[in-house]
């Protein structure tokens, strides 16, 4: 359609503009702004799609024959998977809706124009729903494709359920954000919504794990959904709670109902709240302008001694901790991984006094978490330096500066994981020692990788840090996984642990060799 | 094009100068700084002018130790800044046009942090910091976090950070960009006072009136080379202007070859 065919300020004209902006944002997200990366990103996407199909093949192929007559147990397992995916979608949608009001960008321009802000923001909510659905389809697609290939076209209904879930998640996200605006005011809503989004994203899986540990003494979600206690409380076969599961299995009527419900859950909030979206955007802009005037040093200033350190290194460490503690968004984002430590903590507590098997299960969980947390904190400290010129112009060597920042990261990791290690040491000093070494190696490896691949960036781009160097992202993930495997096998008392240890070292060596010079 | 002739009294010896740059070179896709020679006297206010992309910022970043040159030497108060960067940085301060401070710190905390990096005694640092904040009219905001500050306030915090360790050489890259008249006047007064106290200041600016009124000498840089240098009168003469009241703008445009002088 040509430009002239679209009347300026018409819904289609605005939709086209929004579509173009969303597409460019997506391209930027994947290419980090480098045009030359376009081709390699396409190749990466292709590889990821192939790998995901292979993984899906291994995971769900055997379920391709599950049919509508399979019974409550299958419905329970399918519904559990849908629940997990739905909470992740809701988390993503909530974050996007928040960005819609606070990502200043062009809002000032739009507000100063005679275009209806209500119409523009309504379209943007639709774009949130589209991207939420697209992301879900990208992740769920390979599984649906494998099931369709093996079990027939009835599994294609899974796409319909994914779309309905995306629409419903976007509608709920809009309602939640509006409620936060009304309850907490514009100034606090951004942070609250981001924290709620992060908690929702991990809440379902953590809740299932916690309930599984408490009720049947295992961290396995699969075992939980098939356990007798859960099955005893499962609704009857004709319960409406099974509608999404029935829809996925190819029953057309439940699919239609699910689609209608999903569309309604999106459309009703948009229609009801559209009139207030502009007010929220205005309030968000005013909140930004009022930010910071009343905030002082607070307890972090007192706690960290108001920068009266004896050495430059000590100062840098304190600075990193203060900046992190005073930025609730960054703290929540980087420490969110700690939420995943809740189930292991409960598992540790529940299994205290039992066999050492429980400790062995915890070894990889803690090691992996340390690696991921270390990578995030190291990125903030090294790449996310807010005043690089100041640090570079100070009479402190780069080596000492980097060392101080690495120390700040590792000390923070030590603080977080010490309680776990102390609790484990009470049961088995040997396993606690092995896990401590695993945590130290995983955190140090991730930190080193971030140091080698450092590139200056704004701290607010923390969530997008993976796009700046995919090599660093993959190296960090692979080394954490390898150290986790190594810790688990070593905790089990096997020398096979040397295998993943060698892999982790090779990953590190490879990252060091190809680091930007 | 006027070819600058080096002042023999400055070019011969670097020991008495605050800053001596010799044969400085930095190449990106093309030479950004191309064999630059520059000497600044102790206690002098020096303005470095040039069109966009002339190499001013690259030069100053290399002098401040933020970037390594491909060739050449930098001497700050007789200290070889490339061989002994920390010793040179100890007596130097850098302020950029885009003040990068920590949003989550208060000005007092920021200044304490900066002073700590330069190894200043905390008690002395606090005294200096409070004096500077009062001087820069930031005392009422001393305990507020910087995240809500305007561009002018942030620039003043950054300037206070540059001064808190009492540097002998202050390097400023477009320090007045985006400041309102009152903030700009305040910053100018502070810099002139520091010069009166014996500090040396080198500053880039696009505001020619500022260079004309504040700087004792002005250097004009184009395509990575210093093409003219001296007092305003000396520049007029180098530009071939016979008129005594020709503005710096006319002189500048003549020197960089942009336009003929306006009548």
More confident residue, B262 or B131: B131
Would you tell me which residues 21-40 of chain B have a C-beta closer than 8 angstroms to some C-beta of chain A?
none
Residue B262's pLDDT is 40
Strand-pairing partners, residue B17, are: B41
Q: HEC states along chain B?
A: CCCCCCCHHHHCCCCCEEEEEEEEEEECCCEEEEEEEEEEECCCEEEEECCCCCCHHHHHHHHCCCCCCCEEEEEECCEECCCCHHHHHHCEEEECCCCCCCCCCCHHHHHHHHHHHCCCCHHHHHHHHHHHHHHCCCHHHCCCCHHHCCHHHHHHHHHHHHHCCCCCEEEEECCCCCCCHHHHHHHHHHHHHHHHCCCEEEEECCCHHHHHHHCCEEEEEECCEEEEEECHHHHHHHCCCCCCCCCHHHHHHHHCCCCCCCC
Residue A204's pLDDT is 73
Question: CB-CB: which of A290, A293, A315 is closest to B117?
Answer: A315
Contacts of A295 in chain B (CB under 8 A): 144-145, 147-148
CB B128 within 8 A of CB B136: no
Sequence ranges of the domains in chain B: 14-91+168-257, 100-166
More confident residue, B45 or A334: B45
Indicate if the pLDDT at residue A294 is higher than 90.
no
Strand-pairing partners, residue B39, are: B20
A185: left (phi over 0), alpha (psi -120 to 50) or beta: left
Indicate if the pLDDT at residue B3 is higher than 50.
no
Q: How far apart are CA A92 and CA A68, in angstroms?
A: 31
Average pLDDT, chain B: 84
As a whole number, mean pLDDT of residues A298-311 equals 59
Prediction ipTM score: 0.73
Superfamily of chain region B14-91+168-257: P-loop containing nucleotide triphosphate hydrolases (3.40.50.300)
For tokens 């309030």, name the residue.
Answer: A283
Contacts of B108 in chain A (CB under 8 A): 297, 306
Q: What is the pLDDT of residues A351-364, one digit of tens each?
A: 655 666 677 878 88
Q: What is the pLDDT of residues A176-224, one digit of tens each?
A: 999 998 888 887 787 788 778 877 877 777 777 777 776 666 666 666 6
Indicate if the pLDDT at residue A295 is higher than 70.
no
Among the listed residues B59, B94, B229, the one whose alpha carbon sits nearest the alpha carbon of residue A395: B94
| pTM assigned to the model | 0.68
Q: What is the pLDDT of residues A378-399, one digit of tens each?
A: 888 888 888 888 888 888 888 8
Q: HEC states along A363-406?
A: HHHHHHHHHHHHHHHHHHHHHCCCCHHHHHHCCCCHHHHHHHHH
Residue B157 neighbours by CB under 8 Å, 6+ apart: B99, B101, B107, B110, B111, B138, B146, B149
**N-term to C-term CA, chain A:** 47
Q: CB distance B161–A390 less than 8 Å?
A: yes
Residue A16's pLDDT is 79
More confident residue, A479 or A239: A479
Structure tokens at A49: 């799609």
Strand-pairing partners, residue B222, are: B225
Sequence ranges of the domains in chain A: 64-294, 317-513
CB B97 within 8 A of CB B177: yes
B138 to chain A, closest Cα gap in Å = 13
Residue A506's pLDDT is 94
Q: What is the pLDDT of residues B220-249, one digit of tens each?
A: 998 899 988 988 888 888 777 655 667 777
- pLDDT over 90, % of chain A: 20
Identify the band that residue B44 occupies on the pLDDT scale cut at 50, 70 and 90: very high
Would you tell me which residues 386-425 of chain A have a C-beta closer than 8 angstroms to some C-beta of chain B?
386-397
CB A125 within 8 A of CB A270: yes
CB A321 within 8 A of CB A408: yes
Structure tokens at B3: 């070819």
Contacts of A396 in chain B (CB under 8 A): 86, 117
Q: What is the pLDDT of residues A23-76, one digit of tens each?
A: 777 777 676 666 666 677 788 888 888 988 998 888 888 888 888 777 777 888
Q: How far apart are CA A160 and CA A157, in angstroms?
A: 5
Distances (CA, A) of B175 to A300, B18, B211, B224: 31, 20, 12, 21
Structure tokens at B19: 């800053």
């Amino acid at each position: 359609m040509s430009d002239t065919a679209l009347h300026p300020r018409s819904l289609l004209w605005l939709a086209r503009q929004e579509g173009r902006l969303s597409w460019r944002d997506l391209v930027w997200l994947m290419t980090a702004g480098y045009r030359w990366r376009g081709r390699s990103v396409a190749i990466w996407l292709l590889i990821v799609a192939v790998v995901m199909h292979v993984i899906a093949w291994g995971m769900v192929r055997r379920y391709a024959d599950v049919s509508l007559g399979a019974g409550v147990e299958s419905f329970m397992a399918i519904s559990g998977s849908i629940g997990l995916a739905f909470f992740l979608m809701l988390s993503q949608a909530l974050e996007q809706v928040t960005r819609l009001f606070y990502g200043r960008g062009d809002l000032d321009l739009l507000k100063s124009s005679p275009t209806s802000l209500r119409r523009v923001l309504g379209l943007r909510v639709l774009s949130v729903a589209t991207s939420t659905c697209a992301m879900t389809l990208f992740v769920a697609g390979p599984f649906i494709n494998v099931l369709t290939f093996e079990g027939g076209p009835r599994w294609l209904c899974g796409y319909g359920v994914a779309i309905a879930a995306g629409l419903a998640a976007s509608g709920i996200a809009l309602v939640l954000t509006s409620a936060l605006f009304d309850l907490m005011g514009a100034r606090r809503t951004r942070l609250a919504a981001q924290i709620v989004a992060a908690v929702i994203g991990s809440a379902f899986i953590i809740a299932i794990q916690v309930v599984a540990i408490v009720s049947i003494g295992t961290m396995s979600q699969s075992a939980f959904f098939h356990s007798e206690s859960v099955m005893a409380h499962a609704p009857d076969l004709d319960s409406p709670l099974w509608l999404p599961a029935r829809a996925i299995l190819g029953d057309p009527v439940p699919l239609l109902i699910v689609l209608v419900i999903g569309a309604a859950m999106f459309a009703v909030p948009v229609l009801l709240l559209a009139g207030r979206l502009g007010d929220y955007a205005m309030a968000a802009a005013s909140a930004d302008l009022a930010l910071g005037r009343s905030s002082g040093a607070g307890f972090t200033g007192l706690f960290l001694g108001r920068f009266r350190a004896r050495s430059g290194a000590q100062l840098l460490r304190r600075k990193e901790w203060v900046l992190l503690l005073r930025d609730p968004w960054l703290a929540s984002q980087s420490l969110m991984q700690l939420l995943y430590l809740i189930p292991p903590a409960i598992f540790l507590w529940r299994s205290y006094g039992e066999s050492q098997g429980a400790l062995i299960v915890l070894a990889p969980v803690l090691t992996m978490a340390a690696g991921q947390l270390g990578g995030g904190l190291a990125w903030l400290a090294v790449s996310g330096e807010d005043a690089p010129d100041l640090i570079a112009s100070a009479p402190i060597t780069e080596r000492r500066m980097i060392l101080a920042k690495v120390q700040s990261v590792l000390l923070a990791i030590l603080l977080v994981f010490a309680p776990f290690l102390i609790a484990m040491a009470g049961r088995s000093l040997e396993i606690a020692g092995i896990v401590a070494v695993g945590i130290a190696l995983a955190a140090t490896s991730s930190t080193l990788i971030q140091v080698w691949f450092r590139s200056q960036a704004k701290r607010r781009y923390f969530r997008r840090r993976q796009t700046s160097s995919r090599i660093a992202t993959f190296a960090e993930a692979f080394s954490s996984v390898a150290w986790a495997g190594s810790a688990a096998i070593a905790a089990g008392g096997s020398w096979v642990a040397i295998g993943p240890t060698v892999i982790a070292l090779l990953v590190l060596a490879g990252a060091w060799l190809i680091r930007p010079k | 094009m006027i070819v600058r002739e080096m002042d023999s009294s400055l070019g011969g010896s670097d020991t008495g100068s605050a800053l001596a740059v010799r044969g400085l070179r930095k190449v990106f896709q093309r030479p950004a700084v191309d064999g630059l020679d520059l000497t600044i006297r102790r206690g002098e206010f020096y303005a470095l002018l040039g069109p966009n992309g002339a190499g001013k910022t690259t030069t100053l970043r290399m002098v401040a130790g933020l970037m390594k040159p491909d060739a050449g030497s930098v001497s700050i108060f007789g200290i070889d800044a490339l061989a002994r960067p920390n010793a040179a940085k100890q007596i130097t301060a850098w302020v950029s046009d885009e003040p990068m401070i920590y949003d989550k710190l208060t000005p007092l905390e920021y200044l304490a942090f900066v002073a700590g990096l330069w190894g200043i005694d905390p008690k002395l640092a606090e005294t200096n910091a409070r004096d500077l904040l009062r001087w820069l009219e930031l005392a009422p905001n001393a305990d507020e976090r910087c995240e809500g500050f305007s561009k002018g306030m942030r620039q003043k915090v950054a300037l206070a950070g540059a001064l808190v360790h009492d540097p002998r050489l202050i390097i400023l890259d477009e320090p007045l960009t985006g400041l309102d008249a009152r903030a700009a006047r305040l910053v100018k007064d502070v810099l002139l006072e520091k010069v009166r106290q014996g500090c040396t200041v080198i500053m880039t600016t696009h505001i020619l009136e500022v260079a004309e009124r504040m700087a004792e000498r002005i250097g004009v840089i184009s395509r990575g080379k210093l093409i003219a240098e001296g007092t305003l009168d000396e520049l007029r003469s180098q530009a071939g202007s016979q008129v005594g009241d020709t503005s710096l703008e006319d002189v500048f445009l003549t020197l960089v070859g942009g336009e003929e002088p306006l009548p």
